[in-house]
Amino acid sequence: MLICEKKSEVREQVNAWRRQGLSIGFVPTMGYLHEGHKSLMEAARRENDRVVVSIFVNPMQFGPTEDLESYPRDFDRDSALCEGVGVDLIFHPQPEEMYPEGFCSYVDMNGLTGELCGKSRPTHFRGVQTVVLKFFNIVRPDRAYFGQKDAQQLSVIRRMALDLDLGIEIVGCPIVREEDGLAKSSRNTYLNEEEHQAALMLSRSLAEGKTLIEDGERDAGKIKSAIADIIAKEPLAKIDYVDVVDFENIVPVEKISGTVLVAIAVYIGKTRLIDNFIHKEI
């Protein structure tokens, strides 16, 4: 497994693979890898000749009061996990390599980013799109893998790939959960035991929302209220949002139809956690 810190090293290796006609799968991450990331890498491993993983805590996607400094990092553990999955190359740049002096360009969009996480994190998706497009230009993958836990991010990246004719297949992979239902996240490491127990309210409330839809409820307002009522019972939880949106366009819906994303963001103490499910009307 190669570990590259420079864009030029990645380009050289990727060009060599391309000349041999090999396909490339790419998994962008911010490190502190867990089973969720592992499932993305395994999917990339199955579907491509070569697998590239980036590990980079991207400053551009953090707001001024967010957890950039304290975001967990453990490169040695991450690289061992990558090696175990059969990753071929880790790209681990320093911030100056991605954003050299004078950097002032970014990628943004008019739709999809104004709701859900975009409301409380207004510059977040601009940072995500910019870094992901840069990675795509460096790695030039055939396929790129994103987790459904960040469902809005998945929709945003799919839209960007379509709008900007990137010719990269964006593959969405299911949420991976702890045995107790908590969606895997690098930020779970911030939770103490009491907070971890409180955080189980996220998946439990969504399970209730799912049951309501499966039982025939079509009023998005009632589904949101049922979910919010359950979360409100947990004293350590503070709701950022509970919403039901059209999955493709991330626009709120009043009635359940087509493919909808039921998404929540909740503070447990100081830790902001997200979770969701997607319902496809058949």
Active site residues: 37
**Cα–Cα separations (whole angstroms), residue 217 to 24, 30, 68, 266:** 43, 38, 40, 24
Residue 169 contacts residue 267 (beta carbons within 8 Å): no
Q: For residue 39, what are the contacts with CB-CB under 8 A and spacing of at least 6?
A: 147, 173, 174, 176
Could you tell me how many residues of this chain bind ligand PAF (CB under 6 A)? 10
Considering only residues 130-159, where is the footprint of ligand PAF by CB under 6 A? 131-132, 150, 153
CA gap 4, 16 in Å, rounded: 15
Residue 206 contacts residue 262 (beta carbons within 8 Å): yes
Q: For residue 198, what are the contacts with CB-CB under 8 A and spacing of at least 6?
A: 234, 235, 236, 237, 268
Nearer of residues 159 and 224 to ligand PAF, judged by Cβ: 159
* Shortest CB 222 distance to ligand PAF, Å: 31
* Shortest CB 149 distance to ligand PAF, Å: 9
* Shortest CB 66 distance to ligand PAF, Å: 12
Listed ranges 72-80, 128-136, 254-262, 269-277: which one lies at the site for ligand PAF (CB under 6 A): 128-136
The partner residues of 241 in beta bridges, in order of sequence, read: 265
Nearer of residues 71 and 277 to ligand PAF, judged by Cβ: 71
Listed ranges 124-132, 224-232, 247-255, 272-280: which one lies at the site for ligand PAF (CB under 6 A): 124-132
When asked if residue 81 is in the footprint of ligand PAF (CB under 6 A), the reply is no
When asked if residue 61 is in the footprint of ligand PAF (CB under 6 A), the reply is yes
* Shortest CB 153 distance to ligand PAF, Å: 6
Considering only residues 16-45, where is the footprint of ligand PAF by CB under 6 A? 28-30
Residue 25: Cβ-neighbour burial (10 angstroms; 0-12, 13-18, 19+): buried
What SS3 class is residue 134? helix
Amino acid identity of 251?
V
DSSP states of 225-248:
HHHHHHHHT-TTEEEEEEEEEETT
Nearer of residues 125 and 198 to ligand PAF, judged by Cβ: 125
Nearer of residues 133 and 212 to ligand PAF, judged by Cβ: 133
* Shortest CB 253 distance to ligand PAF, Å: 25
Q: Can you give the binding site for ligand PAF, defined by CB under 6 A?
A: 28-30, 58, 61, 128, 131-132, 150, 153
